[in-house]
C-alpha cells in the first residue's frame, strides 16, 4: 500500500483541489494535515481522508509526523509527503514506488526517494550548487538530502531513524531527517527521470546578478535560528555549515535593505539569531 500526507496552510483552493484529485488517483490512503487558522474549504469529502485541523499551526515537522503515523497505522508500506503547491504526472507515485521496490530487490539500503524538482518560477530543473552526488544506480542518484515535498519514504525504517525533528518547526526539517538517515547507513536518492513542479519561496529577487528566493518575513526567523541549531550537530555535513553560516551576513543585508517590510524582516532575523545562539526551539510564538 502507498499512502500520501498533504500539508496545508492557507492554500490556493484551485491548486489544492487539483493536487488532491491527482493524489487520490495514485495512492491507497491520504492524510491531510491542515495548519490553516480556519479549515481549508476543499471540495473533497473530508470523511474520506484522515483529516486533522490544527488552527494554531503545529509546524511542518509535527504535521509530517501526524500524517506518517496515520499511514503506518493504515498499513502503508510507502509514504509520500506533499506540499500544497506541488504538481506531478499521473504515474508519479507508481514510478517512485517502483524504484523503491527495485532497490529493495537489489538489497540497496534506500530509505527515501524524491523527484527532480522543477521551479514553478523559472520552469527550470533545480540543480544544487554545492550538494554532491554520492552514487548513481541506473535511474537513482544518491544524494545527501532531498526536500520533503515529493519525498517517498520506506515506512518500515522510521522506527530505526525516528520521525521528523519537531523542535525545528519548519526550515531544515527535511534535510535534517536525511542526514540522520545517513547516520544509520541508509541512502536517500533522487529519481533521475521523475519530475515534479514545485514552488520554492514566495517570489524571486536579484542582487549582484544572483537570483535568490524570497519568503515571508517570519520564515527568516526559522532559517536564521535553525542554521545555528543544526550547525552544532555532528552529523550535519560540513559543506552545509560553512555555506549557510558564510552567507548569513549577505542574507541579512539583502533582507534588511532590498526587500519590502524591511523592519519586520530585521526583527525576525535578529530574533532568529538570538534564539539560535541560546538554543531556543519550537515556534516563534513560543519564544517571543
Domain 2-198 is in which class?
alpha beta
Q: Please name the residues in contact with 101: beta carbons below 8 A apart, sequence gap of 6 or more.
A: none
Does the structure show a pLDDT above 90 at 152? yes
User: What is the mean pLDDT of the segment spanning 109-127?
Assistant: 80
Condensed to tens digits (0 to 9), the pLDDT of residues 154-166 reads 999 999 999 999 9
Does the structure show a pLDDT above 80 at 250? yes
Condensed to tens digits (0 to 9), the pLDDT of residues 89-112 reads 999 999 999 999 999 988 899 999
Strands (E) located in 163-252:
187-198, 203-207, 210-214
Closest CA to 152 of 59, 89, 76, 90: 76
In whole angstroms, what is the distance from residue 57 CA to residue 63 CA?
Answer: 9
Does the structure show a pLDDT above 60 at 129? no
Domains of the chain, by residue range, sit at 2-198, 203-287
* Residue 26: pLDDT band with limits 50, 70, 90: very high
* Residue 198: pLDDT band with limits 50, 70, 90: confident
Amino acid at each position: 500500500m502507498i499512502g500520501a500526507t498533504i500539508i496545508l496552510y492557507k492554500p490556493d483552493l484551485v491548486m489544492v483541489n487539483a493536487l488532491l484529485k491527482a493524489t487520490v488517483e495514485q495512492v491507497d490512503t491520504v492524510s491531510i494535515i491542515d495548519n490553516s487558522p480556519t479549515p481549508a474549504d476543499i471540495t473533497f469529502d473530508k470523511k474520506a481522508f484522515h483529516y486533522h485541523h490544527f488552527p494554531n499551526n503545529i509546524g511542518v515537522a509535527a504535521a509530517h509526523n501526524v500524517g506518517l503515523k496515520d499511514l503506518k497505522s493504515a498499513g502503508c508500506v510507502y509514504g509520500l509527503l506533499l506540499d500544497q503547491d506541488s504538481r506531478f504526472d499521473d504515474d508519479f507515485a507508481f514510478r517512485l514506488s517502483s524504484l523503491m521496490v527495485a532497490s529493495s530487490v537489489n538489497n540497496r539500503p534506500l530509505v527515501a526517494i524524491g523527484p527532480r524538482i522543477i521551479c514553478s518560477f523559472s520552469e527550470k530543473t533545480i540543480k544544487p550548487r554545492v550538494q554532491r552526488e554520492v552514487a548513481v544506480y541506473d535511474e537513482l542518484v544518491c544524494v545527501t538530502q532531498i526536500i520533503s515535498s515529493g519525498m517517498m519514504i520506506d515506512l518500515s525504517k522510521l522506527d530505526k531513524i525516528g520521525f521528523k525533528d519537531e523542535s525545528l518547526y519548519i526550515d531544515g526539517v527535511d534535510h535534517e531527517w536525511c542526514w540522520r538517515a545517513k547516520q544509520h547507513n541508509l541512502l536517500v536518492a533522487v529519481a533521475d527521470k521523475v519530475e515534479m513542479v514545485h514552488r520554492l519561496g514566495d517570489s524571486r529577487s536579484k542582487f549582484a546578478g544572483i537570483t535568490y528566493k524570497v519568503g515571508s518575513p517570519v520564515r527568516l526567523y526559522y532559517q536564521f535560528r535553525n542554521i545555528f541549531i543544526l550547525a552544532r550537530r555532528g552529523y550535519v555535513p560540513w559543506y552545509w555549515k560553512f555555506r549557510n553560516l558564510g552567507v548569513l551576513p549577505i542574507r541579512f543585508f539583502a533582507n534588511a535593505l532590498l526587500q519590502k517590510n524591511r523592519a519586520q524582516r530585521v526583527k525576525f532575523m535578529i530574533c532568529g539569531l538570538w534564539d539560535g545562539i541560546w538554543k531556543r526551539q519550537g515556534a516563534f510564538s513560543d519564544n517571543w
